Amino acid sequence: MRIDLFAHFTTQEFRQAYLSIPLGAKGRRQDSLAIRTFVQAQRTTDIDVLWDMEQRLRVLDRYGIDLQVLTLCFPMVGGLEPEEELRLARLANDGLAEIVQRHPQRFLGVATLPFSSPAERPCANLIAAWIASGLRAFRSAQMSTACCSTRPSCSPSTNAPPSVVCPCGSILPHQ
């Protein structure tokens, strides 16, 4: 079986929602990194294979790839205030769950969590809903590393069902 790990995706809805928060508007941070992220997102997210899953499936078939592990493409939810990060993460993860549910044999999903600060982590019920919808791993929008439950350093805590926070910061479902 050929697996493409961490293939980027987006949805039209996510892209439109992200780009609809203009520079200077409430919900978008104003630091130089946030501004650069917004400008780059305008140029880099208009690639149809990122959101057109039928076209993506044809490409996978052409190259003999059986399964892709999908992660949200740049800019993820970067450059936004915590409330907007959470709103857009929900939108992106709901879209990802729909893709995974439509094509469970071809796609696995890695959901994005908006960790603008430890106090802003989404509630366990939201994470449990994403797990129930078919997503199998989670990644912070502020980290470049993803984690899987097979890493020795990522062992489930005993007091955090239905998900666990790994030492690397990723949130994973209990096994």
Q: How confident is the model at residue 139 (pLDDT cuts 50, 70, 90)?
A: low
164 within a domain of the structure (yes/no): no
The structure's pTM equals: 0.70
Alpha-carbon span 157 to 163, nearest angstrom: 9
The 3-state DSSP class for residue 163 equals strand
Q: Is the pLDDT of residue 31 over 80?
A: yes
141 within a domain of the structure (yes/no): yes
pLDDT at residue 3, rounded to an integer:
92
**Strand (E) or helix (H) holding 113:** strand 107-113
Domain count, the chain: 1
Concatenating the DSSP letter of every residue in 116-156 gives SSGGGPPPHHHHHHHHHTT--EEEETT-S----TTSTT---
CATH of the domain at 41: 3.20.20.140
Alpha-carbon span 85 to 113, nearest angstrom: 8
175 within a domain of the structure (yes/no): no
CB 138 within 8 A of CB 172: yes
Q: Is the pLDDT of residue 60 over 90?
A: yes
**Half-sphere exposure in the Cβ direction for 174 (13 Å, CA):** 9
158 within a domain of the structure (yes/no): no
By residue range, what is the domain housing residue 112?
Answer: 3-145
163-165/171-173 β-pairing: antiparallel
pLDDT in tens, 76-131: 888 888 889 888 988 998 999 999 999 999 999 888 877 664 444 555 545 655 56
* 146-151 long-range Cβ contacts below 8 angstroms, 24+ apart: 146/6, 146/71, 146/110, 146/170, 147/172, 148/172, 149/173, 149/175
